[in-house]
Structure 1
Amino acid sequence: MSDLPDSADVIVVGTGAAGMCAAIRLHKLGLAPILIEKTAFFGGSTAVSGGAVWIPDNPHSEEVGRPDTREAARTYLEGEIGNRMNGPLVDAFLDTGPDVVRFLEAETAVKFAARALGPDYHSDRPGASLGGRVMDPLDYDARELGAALPRLRHPIPEFTILGGMMVGRADLGLLPKMHRSGKAFAHALRVVLRHGSDLLRFRRGTRSVLGNALAARLGKTVHDLGIPIYYDTALVRLKQDDGRVTGVTVRHAGAELSIAARHGVILASGGFPQNDTMRADVMAHASRGPHYSMSPEDNTGDSQRAATLLGASQGGNNLHPAFWTPVSRLKRADGTTVPFPHLFLDRAKPGLIAVTDRGGRFVNESASYHDFVAGMLEAMEGGAREFRLICDHRFIRRYGLGAVRPFPGRLKPFIDSGYVIRAATIAELARKTNLPAQALADTLARYNADAARGTDSAFGKGGTDYNRYLGDPENQPNPCLRPIEQGPFYALSIYPGDIGTSIGLETDATARVLGADGTPIGNLYAAGNDMNSIMAGSYPGPGITLGPALTFGYIAANAIAEAAKSTP
């Protein structure tokens, strides 16, 4: 006997931010939704993300001294997205996003804080903001989940320390200073003692931060409201009758079973970043060489595949098919190799450059992770095949490099494993990495001369507010530039990667999935990365996936509830 129900008012596929927000809103509007989850854990991509939520003119922006307007945000998005912009969807997001924040904070366990300083990624564009638009979920005591705690998806292990202790934004500013600051030491002692207690009692950390905190807060409300989550339940196909979706077929406990949906199905299962075939169809470089995704391994496009079998239209005009990040490859203690994303902790800091296998730079290293990989792909079109980050000893001990932690973190294990290559001189580093020695020496000479002056004449590293925000404010005159000159020297190989796909199902402004002729497929909705990104493959700022995910999950719920009023 299966524990699955025969029917539900609404079936929500996926338990990330979009799916859980939709389910909560549906419940609050008087409907009885269920959530089906392919894995044994709730949280999806949200739980392993940075947790940033980008919603312009949100209720907290003015609190941090960054008053915003809808008009300024739209101007910024027009410049970012260009002629790919779907005006009605962007308008729906801008109009509804602030209401979603108010709803979540009034009706759920979700609480946000806006960043007083958190620039949009292209901070020099008209309409860009230097802060306030991006919010972070407040840290959460996941012990409040009670019996549901074991079901919360774990963070990526490499983003934790001491056997699973999550590290939040405040920790990043304090933990590296614990050996030279009393305040930092006290903070470190407090969180480490808490983590030790957690390991003894729960065998995992329970101080949830970043995206894990957002997932935990949404999950707390889902469980408190009694909204069922059916785990280990994968979508196989959608059921349709007379042009309307009437339910789903799922695989559960080794069998295919059907669940009827009285009022609709919402697809919110995280896109297709881990589907090699679908990925190769839209990422030319992935069919020629390495590409790695940071998304959960079960995000294989089940929803998009099921919807396209019913004639659903999939986005095909995006500037980029995914949200890019450069990654390095790290060998774990068990022998497996996993990607590690280089999001913002190392590339923008002073004393690092990125080079191709020809020994020359190719990009502004302090650009956003998305723009950095766009630079990699452009270089690949020009013949580049390999990429490395280069730094000196002062840099790696002060800032770390990828998975290498700053001092007092250990460096030797990463050298022994081959994760980083160390050499006494630049010439020796070139030999060990098969880089052309003269080209690398010339590149460093040009960079070092620029760094000493504080201006990067080649790529403009440190040239915008966003660049400088990620640099080291103690380093002057440019927080992103310093000569690379104190040996030994280090090299780390990096590859194109992603944090999720941007191509998804085409929808209208009420999140209804559209067929090839542009008309809605009855009772079928999409949100999150199953929905074609309203950013159309551009990446305007931190949190531009989670902001729209929450908003269109909420919009889909509203649309279903409104339609249900006229359904017998």
Structure 2
Amino acid sequence: MKKETTKIMDAVNQARWDEEVDLLVFGAGAGGMTAALVAHHERLKVLVCEKTDAVGGITSTSGGTTWVPGTSLSVRDGVPDSIDDARRFLASVVGDRGGDEAREAFLQSGPKAIDELQRISDVKFVAAAAHPDYVSGPGAAFGGRALAPVAFDARLLGDEFVRVKPPRAEFMGLGGMMVARTDLDALLAPFASTKNFSRTLAVVGRYVLDRLRYPRGTHLVMGNALAARLFYSLRKQNVEVRFETPLVELVIENGKVTGAVVQQKNAGKKRIGARRGVVLATGGITRNPVLRKQLFPAGAEPLSLSPETHTGDGVKSALELNAKLDNGCESPGLWMPCSILRKNGKPDGVWPHIILDRAKPGLIAVNSRGERFVNESDSYHDFVMGMLRTDSVPAHLIVDAAFIRDYGLGLLMRGRSRARIASFEKAGYLIKGDTLAALAAKLNVDAKGLERTVEAYNRNAAQGVDPEFHRGSSPMNRFNGDTAQKPNPCLRPIGAGPYYAVTVWPADLACSAGLAGNANGQVLDNDGNVIPGLFACGNDLASIFRGTYPGPGTTLGPAIVFGWRIAKFAAHPSVSAEPQNAHPKKSALIFP
């Protein structure tokens, strides 16, 4: 009788669905691919549906750093880190903004997730010995928490290499060559030493050989390496990634999400059942015009670093089922100041000002009043938060000629020729003024305000102090400064003219706003109840850091860990345990 009942149910399901799996994942970024890998390891039948023709999403264009405290890698690599310290650190950064249970789950699951991912796949990390948390406070770490993906040889993917989304064009040399940060000095000054010349020959030589067969260089680093490693692991384990298959709508029956309708290229709409659930990892809302206008501040609306295809498909589909939209608390976006090179009036290059110039001594950022408004050496997110809080959009990074020679500015790398500088001037990207007043006029900045600001800055910089914004006072500031500059690696006076400037605008690199979820990535409805069968991770899930940006990789870390937790919960929904050392009266599901 039991066999007959099973046959009847199978026939019913076949009639309802074009196909059926255990876990249906939408989005092939870090979160989605992690969920798929771990679910497959747990013996679930998994299908990954990717909207585009390549994996990676935001992960592929990111730095790839993954923030996970307390891992065994930190011990292995000589920079041991403590979950207790991380807990104190996050308590000081996030404060009373909420989300305690999800953060506790992240802290306790993080080391297990990284250990298992490295054991069951080709995903490999090293713990950075020196990569400080972005905010100072009790429990902050100088190294150990930031995990860097190991470089990947994309030749292992063969013809499937084209399925890895390339990094931003601005981050590749010679039309397609990725360069590790450790090689940057050699390539910018190849004739400075025999060592530099040898390294340059090795890097460029491999790239030249790569281009005989591949559309770009195969030595992948940063987020591109992470995305490629995840994809390579899925391919090795025969987990299907179905490309150009966007989500159309979720299917809900008796209050439970049981599958989804997809649009397959050249095959029309298909109904796919999901016995254990549907995972939304579609990249977040950054390119959805309605939600962007609803949630984002006006000053940060126009520019985004996320892929054009991240139109909020997962979030929109969940909202149709009465899912709760979390506004991200402190900020709906996670920000980066960017300069724009325009050609024929249209953006031809967008440069994120991460670490190469803002933190260095001899640069100031001013607004239209000619006033400084932020610690220029703080993290990219905190820099833009300063722009938004003080009505300083756009802002201008101002330097002297010596600064460009020593450090470069934006798209203009250090040590470039006068002809290269002139070409950026002609394009309108680099603004030059023989005097501060002349520069201010070209920037439409208050000249007297700028002159007063530079005078005060120079007076203090000569003493190595910044009484207004305390620049150079944090480990992160000093790490990204210039250690040769004494007594403060982030401060030196701005010299005589000519002066140069680039204009920067806020751009989101990811979002903090997203679907409300619990400690297992289960999506919640507007009453705070779980929507059975529906999960979210990555940028589809609201940030556990509540609009703050504690350290390098605090988007990728939770994406991977919650992808892991979702897979574990889908495979073992009955497993429940009180977390050790949790905050009183808080609990979270912990998996073996």
TM-score range, shorter chain: over 0.9
After superposition, where does 1:455-474 map in structure 2 within 5 Å?
Answer: 455-474=465-484
Offset, 1:325:
0.8
In 2, are the aligned partners of 1:61 and 1:133 still within 8 Å (CA)? yes
- Specify the alignment match of 2:322 in structure 1: 311
Selected match of 1:448 from 452, 458, 470: 458
Cα distance between partner residues in 2 of 1:290 and 1:279? 7
Cα distance between partner residues in 2 of 1:200 and 1:5? 42
After superposition, where does 1:235-274 map in structure 2 within 5 Å?
Answer: 235-253=247-265, 255-274=268-287
* 1:13 maps onto 2:13 in alignment: no
What is the DSSP-based 3-state SS (H/G/I as helix, E as strand, rest coil) of the residue aligned with 2:147?
strand
> Structure 1 counterpart of 2:372, which letter?
R
- Specify the alignment match of 2:230 in structure 1: 218
Offset, 1:389:
0.7
Cα distance between partner residues in 1 of 2:172 and 2:538? 26
After superposition, where does 1:424-435 map in structure 2 within 5 Å?
Answer: 424-435=434-445
Deviates more, 1:54-63 or 1:328-337: 328-337
* 1:72 maps onto 2:85 in alignment: yes
After superposition, where does 1:519-530 map in structure 2 within 5 Å?
Answer: 519-530=529-540
- Specify the alignment match of 2:564 in structure 1: 554
> Structure 2 counterpart of 1:542, which letter?
P
After superposition, where does 1:176-195 map in structure 2 within 5 Å?
Answer: 176-195=188-207
* 1:126 maps onto 2:141 in alignment: no
Offset, 1:340:
2.0
Cα distance between partner residues in 1 of 2:512 and 2:34? 20
TM-superposition CA deviations, 1:25-51 (whole Å, max 9, x none): 011110110111111111111010000
What is the DSSP-based 3-state SS (H/G/I as helix, E as strand, rest coil) of the residue aligned with 1:71?
helix
TM-superposition CA deviations, 1:507-550 (whole Å, max 9, x none): 11111111112221111111111111110111000011111100
Divergent runs of 4+, >3 A: 332-338
- Specify the alignment match of 2:55 in structure 1: 42
In 1, are the aligned partners of 2:328 and 2:512 still within 8 Å (CA)? no
- Specify the alignment match of 2:421 in structure 1: 411
Offset, 1:168:
1.8
Higher Cα radius of gyration: 2
> Structure 2 counterpart of 1:339, which letter?
V
- Specify the alignment match of 2:340 in structure 1: 329
What is the DSSP-based 3-state SS (H/G/I as helix, E as strand, rest coil) of the residue aligned with 1:61?
helix
- Specify the alignment match of 1:114 in structure 2: 127
> Structure 2 counterpart of 1:21, which letter?
T
Offset, 1:290:
5.4
Q: Once the two structures are aligned, what percentage of the paired residues are identical?
A: 43
* 1:359 maps onto 2:370 in alignment: yes
Selected match of 2:351 from 327, 340, 351: 340
Cα distance between partner residues in 2 of 1:57 and 1:564? 27
Cα distance between partner residues in 1 of 2:410 and 2:271? 45
In 2, are the aligned partners of 1:388 and 1:493 still within 8 Å (CA)? yes
Rate the CA distance shift 1:282–1:134 in 2: closer, same or farther, 3 A: same
TM-superposition CA deviations, 1:376-403 (whole Å, max 9, x none): 00111xxx44311101111112211111
What is the DSSP-based 3-state SS (H/G/I as helix, E as strand, rest coil) of the residue aligned with 2:43?
coil
In 1, are the aligned partners of 2:293 and 2:301 still within 8 Å (CA)? no
> Structure 1 counterpart of 2:421, which letter?
L
* 1:395 maps onto 2:400 in alignment: no
Selected match of 1:563 from 557, 560, 573: 573
Offset, 1:176:
3.0
Deviates more, 1:98-107 or 1:178-187: 178-187
What is the DSSP-based 3-state SS (H/G/I as helix, E as strand, rest coil) of the residue aligned with 2:515?
coil
Cα distance between partner residues in 2 of 1:552 and 1:174? 38
Selected match of 2:175 from 163, 166, 170: 163
Selected match of 2:312 from 275, 290, 301: 301
In 2, are the aligned partners of 1:22 and 1:554 still within 8 Å (CA)? yes
Deviates more, 1:60-69 or 1:496-505: 60-69
Deviates more, 1:353-362 or 1:312-321: 312-321
Cα distance between partner residues in 2 of 1:147 and 1:334? 37
- Specify the alignment match of 1:203 in structure 2: 215
Q: CA RMSD in A?
A: 1.8
TM-score, length basis structure 2: 0.91
What is the DSSP-based 3-state SS (H/G/I as helix, E as strand, rest coil) of the residue aligned with 1:203?
coil
In 2, are the aligned partners of 1:292 and 1:339 still within 8 Å (CA)? no
TM-superposition CA deviations, 1:421-471 (whole Å, max 9, x none): 112222221222222222111111111111111111221111111100110
In 2, are the aligned partners of 1:290 and 1:495 still within 8 Å (CA)? no
- Specify the alignment match of 1:500 in structure 2: 510
Offset, 1:564:
9.3
- Specify the alignment match of 2:433 in structure 1: 423
In 1, are the aligned partners of 2:439 and 2:500 still within 8 Å (CA)? yes
> Structure 2 counterpart of 1:249, which letter?
V
> Structure 2 counterpart of 1:133, which letter?
R
In 1, are the aligned partners of 2:292 and 2:301 still within 8 Å (CA)? no
Q: What stretches of structure 1 of length at least 5 have no aligned partner? A: none
Offset, 1:477:
1.3
Rate the CA distance shift 1:11–1:332 in 2: closer, same or farther, 3 A: farther
In 2, are the aligned partners of 1:291 and 1:495 still within 8 Å (CA)? no
Cα distance between partner residues in 2 of 1:42 and 1:75? 36
